[in-house]
A and B are shown apart, each in its own frame.
Chain A
Amino acid sequence: MSTPAESPRALVIERVFPHPPEKLWRALTENQLVAQWLMKNDFEPVIGRKFKFQSEPVPNWDGVINCEVLIVDHLKRLSYSWTTMGVEFIVLWTLTPAEGGTHLRMEQSGFGPDQQRAYQGAKYGWQKFLGAMEQVLARTD
């Protein structure tokens, strides 16, 4: 588990695009544009909006991802829940102006119950757990 790109931390994907934040924001929030690179959807950039991503169904999966918009921070942050097969993730997009363009960061994390501040939720969050999990896996290699 030594290469970060191959570890579970790969759920953070980052890239600098040679385009202004305004353009990236459009690609992330206009549903026809989102459909062209991510999946067909009925997204609207409105907090609380429930929407779906629809991809090709495969055996054991109907291809539907149920989402709800959580954060719309114009040109800076966009977040939605991402629930599929009964498991809830949070997808968070962060845009930061960078030299020659925009740094885009995608983080897919967080199990539902953590958001409810369940018992020891803060202490035993997803990140910490993944760290512990890597130790376990390193030991079994």
Chain B
Amino acid sequence: MVSYVKPTIANHVFRALADPTRRAIFEELTRQGEQTVHALTRYAGVSQPAVSKHLTVLKRAKLVRHRREGRETHYRVQPDALAPMVDWLRHYGAFWRDRFDRLESLLEGME
């Protein structure tokens, strides 16, 4: 009964957020709202090219979107993108509860 909702999309989201620096950037955008790449670079404490690379991964997973204003690129979160991940986790929750039921039956039949 392991079933998944849109595994490919969930997988993109998981992979994007598997990196702690990317999670930190995503969290910062969640807390602060829209931020420039410069501000995010100061926050993350890694180089700007590194931050840009992380942002590209987040963008590909549709977790953030950007807009350009003059020389600056501004990023903001797209919280809807987390939905497949949450679905996926819920399905795992249902999966484990079902397995716990089976375990209970098995234990009853065991010596």
Binding site for B on A (CB under 8 A): 5-6, 8, 10-11, 13, 15, 17, 19, 23-24, 26-27, 33, 36-38, 55-56, 58, 60-61, 63, 85-88, 104, 106, 108, 111-114, 118-121, 123-125, 129, 132-133, 135-137, 139-140
Contacts and interface: CB of A to CB of B under 8 A. Distances in A.
Contact of B107 (A8, A19, A119): A19
B99 A27 contact: no
Contacts of A139: 79
Interface of B: 2-4, 7-8, 11, 14-15, 17-21, 23-24, 27, 30-31, 46, 77, 79-80, 82, 86, 89-90, 92-93, 96-97, 99-100, 102-107, 110
A15 B100 CA distance: 8
Contacts of A112: 18
* Dominant secondary structure of chain B at its interface with chain A: helix
Contacts, number: 117
B104 A17 contact: yes
Contacts of A121: 20
A33 B20 contact: no
Given A13-B93, A87-B11, A123-B24, 5 more contacts: A8-B86, A11-B92, A23-B110, A124-B21, A135-B30
